[in-house]
């Protein structure tokens, strides 16, 4: 092995067992007089690399993961389900869900456009990721709410000078999320009837205002702009028995949609 070959190995995996012995042998033989220094340099870089990769998990994520077991239980395979192969079972579930969704869309509101139907499904699916968010009752500090909206390109004051967060009222949960691969803000607002999930999605395509019922949930979608076919929508998701009207009115007013 010569110096160039040794450098290649250091570039591929400097921490592999045996590198130290290789460096020592190369240096002792005079083939590479600074082999050990090269190894030390490579290992120092690996140390920095390890530190760079080391990021903390968000505090609330573990709570979400624990809650998944409860959500997952409702999908747990029944005894005898092994009679159907795994892939077929997934296909069957997927087909069933799609059929239910389509039936629900058509059954509830015949004029729901396909784009909104899919968006409503994504919004409803998203709730599974953060089930514990629905029970949050503490109020998110207004400066955090304001910062999150500002980061997503929203004005923090209305044209007539009113404060966005005041118009929104109390927000009980707030997190940056993705819905259908697009950046979204996930908020939960507690009402007297129950929680309302609000998904603000500045970049999703939509078909305009519509309302979709998926099983026992109601998803109401409003465009974020009055300009036709422009991107951006806000979705309000709640149990059918919960009225989203008041929350919707507050949000649309705060965001300058009405």
Beta carbon nearer to another protein, 49 or 106:
49
Residue 226 CB, nearest distance to another protein (Å)?
22
**From 41, 88, 137, 162, residue interacting with another protein (rule: CB under 8 A):** 41
Residue 215 interacting with another protein (CB under 8 A): no
**From 5, 33, 77, 229, residue interacting with another protein (rule: CB under 8 A):** 77
Beta carbon nearer to another protein, 152 or 158:
152
Residue 96 interacting with another protein (CB under 8 A): no
**From 2, 4, 21, 56, residue interacting with another protein (rule: CB under 8 A):** 56
**From 180, 239, 252, 256, residue interacting with another protein (rule: CB under 8 A):** 180
How many other C-beta atoms lie within 10 A of the C-beta of residue 6?
A: 21
For residue 233, the SS3 value is: strand
* β partners of residue 200: 185, 234
Residue 181 interacting with another protein (CB under 8 A): yes
CB 185 within 8 A of CB 148: yes
Residue 183 interacting with another protein (CB under 8 A): yes
Residue 119 has which token pair?
A: 């968006």
Binding part of the chain for another protein, among 55-63, 111-119, 221-229, 244-252 by CB under 8 A, reads 55-63
Residue 194 interacting with another protein (CB under 8 A): no
Residue 12 CB, nearest distance to another protein (Å)?
5
Binding part of the chain for another protein, among 38-46, 106-114, 157-165, 242-250 by CB under 8 A, reads 38-46
In 3D, which of 236, 207, 12, 176 has the Cα closest to residue 112? 207
Beta carbon nearer to another protein, 31 or 43:
43
Label each residue of the chain as H, E or C.
CCHHHHHHHHHHCCCCCCHHHHHHHHHHHCCCCCHHHHHHHHHHHHHHHHHHHCCCCCHHHHHHHHHHHHHHHCCCCCCCHHHCCHHHHHHHHHHHHHHHHHHHHHHHCCCCCHHHHHHHHHHHHHHHHCHHHHHCCCCCCHHHHHHHHHHCCCCCECCCCCEHHHHHCCCCEEEEEEECCEEEEEEEEECCCCEEEEEEECCCCCCCCEEEEECCEEEEEEECCCCCCCCCEEEEEEECCCCCHHHHHHHHHHCCCC
Beta carbon nearer to another protein, 20 or 250:
20
Residue 83 interacting with another protein (CB under 8 A): no
Binding part of the chain for another protein, among 34-42, 94-102, 212-220, 237-245 by CB under 8 A, reads 34-42
Beta carbon nearer to another protein, 76 or 192:
76
Residues near another protein, by CB under 8 A: 8, 11-17, 19, 37, 40-41, 43-58, 61-62, 64-66, 68-69, 71-73, 75-77, 86, 128-129, 151, 175-178, 180-183, 203
């Amino acid at each position: 092995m010569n110096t160039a070959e040794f450098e290649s190995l250091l570039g591929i995996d400097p921490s592999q067992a045996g590198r130290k012995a290789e460096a020592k042998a190369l240096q002792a033989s005079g083939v590479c007089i600074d082999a050990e220094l090269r190894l030390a340099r490579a290992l120092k870089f690996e140390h920095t690399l390890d530190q760079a990769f080391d990021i903390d998990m968000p505090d609330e994520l573990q709570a979400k993961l624990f809650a998944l077991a409860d959500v997952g239980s409702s999908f747990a395979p029944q005894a005898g389900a092994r009679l159907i192969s795994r892939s077929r079972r997934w296909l069957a579930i997927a087909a069933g869900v799609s059929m239910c969704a389509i039936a629900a869309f058509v059954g509830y509101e015949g004029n729901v456009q396909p784009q909104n139907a899919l968006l409503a499904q994504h919004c409803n699916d998203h709730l599974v990721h953060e089930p514990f968010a629905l029970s949050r009752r503490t109020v998110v500090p207004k400066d955090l709410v304001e910062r999150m909206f500002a980061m997503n390109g929203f004005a923090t004051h209305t044209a007539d000078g009113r404060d966005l967060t005041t118009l929104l009222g109390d927000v009980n949960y707030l997190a940056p999320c993705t819905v259908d691969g697009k950046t979204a803000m996930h908020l939960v607002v507690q009402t007297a009837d129950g929680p309302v999930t609000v998904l603000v999605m500045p970049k999703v395509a939509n078909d305009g205002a519509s309302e979709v019922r998926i099983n026992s949930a109601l998803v109401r979608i409003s465009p974020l702009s009055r300009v036709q076919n422009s991107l951006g929508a806000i979705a309000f998701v709640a149990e059918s028995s919960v009225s989203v009207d008041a929350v919707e009115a507050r949000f649309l007013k705060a965001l300058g949609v009405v």
